């Protein structure tokens, strides 16, 4: 009987996806693609990756870039800590490794933002090292192959699956083996309705044999994001609008927004915003027209955000720490935080 790895690689050679980061074995491109693919679908990542590589074609070019520009080129992918860690990691390689990606597990995993999965992907694909790269796709495939009925989010089950992956891994083509598992999980062994008849590992699949392929894997349900009401104020002075730069740490760190305040449950939203704005700037504002309302979902919280046009007393332009009056012509040079980009685009379209 043909080995699992041979069946998988034969299928991969015929059916592998044509992805821009697979056209060479540049560890930098592999790194960028793997970070982008965290929490984001391949179809979305493709265009972002090509745009990114056009602007930052080498690790050194990324290391030399300013953070604001890096975030700007990441805008739309979300989870911005990924971009900051990638940028910081590139600087670490430039400083500590003379601009050359290191080649050992400890060194690669020691870079900012690189965990066990990403280090395994880089080392196996770029350097042909026998390192597993276990993501959600691989956990799903192996939980079905071996009828593993424990929660795949627990360390014990992850360790069990890792041992099985290491046992089955192709020694001569570890990078292709890892990418084949990724492709299999993404296109055939999919979450809700696996396409078992298309699977090259069908005859080896314990879950299929027992009719359990739709019950596996087992994974504890995520806690739903906490709903949070947010009010933001849009203040204008000619071509200038009042913007705030968010703190360097925390949610949407370092990004730009229209001044916004979270509203405690049960309190009057307009009153809370006016009090908060007065405390921050020393100026009173009046809430006028509701311009835009939208929902923005993060992993742990769900913003219900309302943008109001605000007026203030003539000659008393509000000022404060981290607050700036920015010309709308410069908005394409800055990175707006989450839903604030929608508000900026709305204003640009309304003013054109």
Catalytic residues: 34
Q: For 38-77, write each residue's pLDDT tens digit.
A: 988 999 999 999 999 999 999 999 999 999 899 999 988 8
Distance CA 69, CA 231 (A): 27
Find tokens 């010309």 and name the residue: 327
* Radius of gyration, CA atoms only, the chain: 24
8 A C-beta contact, residue 303 and residue 338: yes
Distance CA 297, CA 161 (A): 31
Residue 350 has pLDDT above 80, yes or no: no
Distance CA 204, CA 280 (A): 64
Structure tokens at 283: 């100026």
- Does the pTM surpass 0.75? The reply is yes
Going along the chain from its start, the domains and CATH numbers come out as 4-210 (1.10.340.30), 226-351 (3.90.79.10)
The string of DSSP letters for 80-107 reads THHHHHHHHHHHHHHHHSTTS---SHHH
CB count within 10 Å of CB 8 equals 26
Looking at residue 289, the DSSP 8-state letter turns out to be E
Q: For 182-203, write each residue's pLDDT tens digit.
A: 999 999 999 989 999 999 999 9
User: Which strands sit side by side in the sheet containing 285-297, from one edge to the other?
Assistant: 260-263, 226-234, 301-312, 285-297
């Amino acid at each position: 009987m043909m080995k699992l790895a041979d069946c998988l690689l034969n299928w991969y050679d015929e059916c592998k996806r044509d992805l821009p980061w697979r056209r060479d074995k540049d560890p930098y491109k592999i790194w960028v693609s793997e970070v982008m693919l965290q929490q984001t679908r391949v179809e979305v990542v493709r265009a972002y990756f090509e745009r990114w590589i056009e602007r930052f074609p080498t690790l050194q070019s990324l290391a030399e870039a300013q953070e604001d520009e890096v975030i700007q080129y990441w805008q739309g992918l979300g989870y911005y800590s990924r971009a900051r860690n990638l940028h910081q990691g590139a600087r670490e390689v430039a400083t500590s490794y003379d601009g050359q990606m290191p080649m050992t597990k400890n060194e690669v995993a020691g870079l900012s933002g690189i965990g066990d999965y990403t280090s395994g992907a880089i080392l196996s694909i770029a350097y042909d090292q026998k390192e597993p790269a276990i993501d959600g796709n691989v956990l799903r495939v192996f939980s079905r192959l071996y009828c593993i009925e424990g929660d795949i989010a627990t360390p014990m089950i992850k360790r069990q699956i890792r041992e099985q992956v290491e046992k089955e891994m192709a020694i001569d083509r570890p990078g292709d083996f890892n990418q084949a598992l990724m492709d299999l999980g993404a296109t055939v062994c999919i979450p809700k309705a696996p396409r078992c008849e298309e699977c090259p590992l069908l005859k080896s699949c314990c879950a299929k044999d027992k009719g359990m392929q739709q019950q596996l894997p087992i994974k504890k349900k995520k806690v739903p994001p906490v709903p949070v009401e947010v009010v933001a104020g849009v203040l204008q002075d000619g071509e200038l609008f009042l913007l705030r730069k968010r703190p360097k740490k925390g949610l949407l760190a370092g990004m730009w927004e229209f001044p916004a305040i979270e509203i405690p449950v049960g309190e009057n939203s307009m009153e809370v915003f006016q009090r908060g704005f007065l405390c921050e700037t020393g100026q009173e504002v009046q809430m006028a027209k509701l311009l835009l309302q939208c929902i923005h979902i993060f992993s742990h919280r769900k913003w219900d955000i309302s943008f109001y046009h605000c007026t203030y007393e003539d000659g008393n332009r509000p000022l404060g720490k981290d607050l700036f009056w920015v010309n709308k012509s410069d908005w394409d040079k800055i990175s707006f935080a989450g839903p604030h980009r929608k508000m900026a685009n709305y204003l640009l379209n309304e003013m054109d």
